[in-house]
Structure 1
Amino acid sequence: MTSSLLSKIPPERVGLTGEYDHSGLAKRVLQAFQAEFSSEELEGVRVTQRGKIVVLLGSVADDHMLARLVWIALRAEGAIGVETTGIRLK
């Protein structure tokens, strides 16, 4: 039983194709953003992670877009919060 617990990848470390990836959560969130927004809308937005926290950096068009980004990020498996202190409005 101990070996199965140790071999399971934490949700925040699961990559785009199910492999272990230290930045897996951030990559999956960015992929979800790219499915919802155009590249022009996402220009200047960076996504990183600190454990289970998604960290958004850069600039966005308005509060509505920021709210949508946070909502999408929180839906990602393994995310428990979103930090937006690094975001500014254009």
Structure 2
Amino acid sequence: MLSRQPLPPSDIADRLLLHILDDPELLSSLLGRSGLAPSQLREVLTDTQAPEFILDFVTESDDRVISCAEAIGVTPEQIGMAARISARRD
């Protein structure tokens, strides 16, 4: 069931992170895209910019957005909106 209620970008990013960590192919893509070694991932994910990092990765590909949205029970539009909000620098 898809959640149509607005979720904070950090909640969506947290759900996405859990999904990515549980999917070896996505995790490998994330590490390859970022150039991080697995041992460096913890440091990046504890940074205040972690939600933006995760949302940027997911939104690089429409197919990834769609499959991740389905996996975490949100709409692709919610992921897109979370990425836009997370990227704002007010």
TM-score normalized by structure 2?
0.35
- Pick the structure with more strand per residue: 1
Does 1 or 2 have the higher relative contact order (CA < 8 Å, sep 6+)?
2
In our comparison, the structure showing a higher alpha carbon Rg is 1
